[in-house]
Structure 1
Amino acid sequence: MSRKFFEAKKRHHYVWAKYLSRWGNGTKDVFYTTKTGKIAHDSVRAIAAEDFFYKTTTLTNRNVGIIKALSEKSPHHLHTQHMSYLEDILKIQSLEDMYRASGIQDHEAETLIHATKCNLMENLHSSHEMKVLSILEALTYERLDILNDKQHMIEFMMFFGHQITRTKTFRDAVFHAQLRRNSLEIEFADTIVHAWWFISYMFGMNIGWSLYSSRNEDSHSLLLNDTGLPFITSDHPVVNVHSCVSETDLIAPKYADLYYPISPRIAYIVCNSKRFVTGINRVDEAVVDELNTKITKQAMVHIIGNTEGALLNYKKHLGQRYNKMNPFL
């Protein structure tokens, strides 16, 4: 067996490092805000990451029951996919259980078990990233026609959905929203926390499929920014920028204008408000400033830009929505 099977990936990025490097001016170094509110210039490897963020946990029968109940609310074909992934994970868990029950202590087995827990979801997210490399590259060069291909659109929307649900910002907001008024709610909330590595992946699949399914009703637009003010991104790179979004409560908004900056010059937005027309839209500085402000407010710690100046005017907005929803921070 290859040595790579035994190498546990410790540092998990919840925002794709290669994506963030689009703000690196040809390098891997970007300008970003730190936990102390300063602006640093360093490698993308240092940001939007946490050790063992996607590490899998052992699922109890009750955990599995709650996961299945959540999945059953999905369209049938997605529920089938969720359960297929879950079955594979439970098979791996069963193998570990048999190994533990044997009483045998084997260094190679322990190393492989640890690596599998660390790498399984990280590798799954990486597989989605690899599928959209050429798509993001084409969009950077204004080739929106690449999404006329059905498979490309499916892959991009699945990736897009996970860019919402895989972040630490989204995770903490969901954890904070869980009710714990009785034993059933506590059990449900504990499962959400314990199995978030899997539940968040299901949610991302569902959002991605919903966006794909509604593609003919929503506006899918490429925003071109040729102003002197570049787009910035953050540790939560897809945000709803519609004015109906509450800055204090985690409630479902009436409209979803899901905005995703791709580079300092290019962004993608899916609008069910019809704010932008389907196709290519050129934006002025006022719109860029609005979008940068909204992505900053919905970030947790990091906003990322291609220059220090691109971040200076937005630092004061950093994390405003996140902090209002999490008053104990």
Structure 2
Amino acid sequence: MSRKELEAKKRHHFVWAKYLARWGSGTKNVFYTTKTGKFAHDSVRAIAADDYFYKTTTLTSKHVEVIKGLSRLSPDHLHQQHMSYLKDFLMMQQAEAVYRKSGIRNQEAELHIHAMKCNLLENLHASHEEMALPVLEALADEQIDVLQDKQHMIEFMMFFGHQISRTKTFRDSAIQAQPRGNAIENDVADAMAHAWWFLSYMFGMSIGFGLYADRHNARHTLLINNTKVPFITSDQPVVNVHSCVSETKFDAPKHSYLYYPISPRVAYIICDSERFTPGKNEIDESTAVELNAKLAAQAMVHIIGDTEHAIRPFKEYIGRRYQKATDIHLKD
């Protein structure tokens, strides 16, 4: 077995570092807000990442039952796809269980098991990133026609779905929103937290497929920003910026404007109404301010820009939605 196969990836980015580098002005250094509310200028490697964030955990029958129950809410073909992925993970889990039961201890086997747990999901996300890279580069260059290619659209929507579900912000919000009114609800919420590494990938698959399937009904628009207020991004790079999104509850919104900044100048938005026309739309300064503020309100810690001046006006908005929702929850 090669040395590389035995190497466990420890630092897991829940927002792609190469994506964040678009705010680096040709470098890997970006301006961002820190946990203590200060401004920093450092490598993208330092932000939107946690050690072992995607490391797999052992799934019991109870965890599997919760996963299957949530998966059944998807169309049957997606449920089957979820179960196929789950089966692969469970087979690897079973192989480890057989090894443990044997009583044999082998250093190379131990390293391989640890690397497998650390790398499997991280590698899956890396494969989606790699497939989406040509599309993102074309969109950053204002070439929205790249999505006329069906395969490019499939890959981009799958990537897009995971940009929503794979983050720490989405995880914490989803788990916090789970009811805990009785023993059954507590068990389900605990199971979701334990199995989140799989659920987040499963949800990303479902979101991505839903966006692809609905592509002819929704409006897919490339926003071009030539104003003095550049687009910023955050530790939750895709957010719903529709005005119906509640700042006090984590309820499912009635409308969706899924907004994804691609660079300080270009962003992608998927709308279920007529605010933007399909294709390319040039926006004004007030729209740039609005989008930045709504993105910051749904960030957890980091907003990221190409200058400190670009992010400074939006620091006060960071986490506003989560703070208000938590305050309401505590009062209840």
Offset of residue 199 of structure 1: 0.5
Offset of residue 72 of structure 1: 1.2
2:18 and 2:128 mapped to 1: Cα distance?
13
Matched, 1:80 2:80: yes
Range that drifts further, 178-187 or 31-40: 178-187
How many residues matched? 328
Corresponding position of 1:168: 168
Corresponding position of 1:8: 8
Gaps in structure 2 of 5+ consecutive residues: none
Matched, 1:263 2:251: no
Corresponding position of 2:51: 51
Offset of residue 186 of structure 1: 1.4
Q: Conserved in 2, the CA contact under 8 Å of 1:34 and 1:302? A: yes
SS of the equivalent of 1:15 reads coil
- One-letter code of the match for 2:299? A
1:132 and 1:28 mapped to 2: Cα distance?
20
SS of the equivalent of 1:5 reads coil
2:239 and 2:196 mapped to 1: Cα distance?
20
SS of the equivalent of 2:5 reads helix
- One-letter code of the match for 2:277? V
Corresponding position of 1:225: 225
Percent identity between the two aligned chains: 65
SS of the equivalent of 1:25 reads coil
Q: Conserved in 2, the CA contact under 8 Å of 1:129 and 1:159? A: yes
1:24 and 1:40 mapped to 2: Cα distance?
13
Superposition map of 1:1-329 within 5 A: 1-327=1-327
SS of the equivalent of 1:223 reads strand
Q: After superposition, give the CA deviation of every residue in 1:175-228 in whole Å (9 maximum; x if it has no partner).
A: 111112222111111110000000011111111111111111110000000111
Offset of residue 9 of structure 1: 0.5
RMSD over aligned Cα atoms:
0.9
SS of the equivalent of 2:304 reads strand
1:221 and 1:113 mapped to 2: Cα distance?
44
Q: After superposition, give the CA deviation of every residue in 1:33-60 in whole Å (9 maximum; x if it has no partner).
A: 0011111000000000001111000000
- One-letter code of the match for 1:149? D
Q: Conserved in 2, the CA contact under 8 Å of 1:298 and 1:319? A: yes
Q: Conserved in 2, the CA contact under 8 Å of 1:222 and 1:281? A: yes
- One-letter code of the match for 1:214? D
TM-score (norm: length of structure 1): 0.98
Gaps in structure 1 of 5+ consecutive residues: none
2:86 and 2:171 mapped to 1: Cα distance?
20
Offset of residue 326 of structure 1: 3.0
TM-score (norm: length of structure 2): 0.97
2:177 and 2:73 mapped to 1: Cα distance?
19
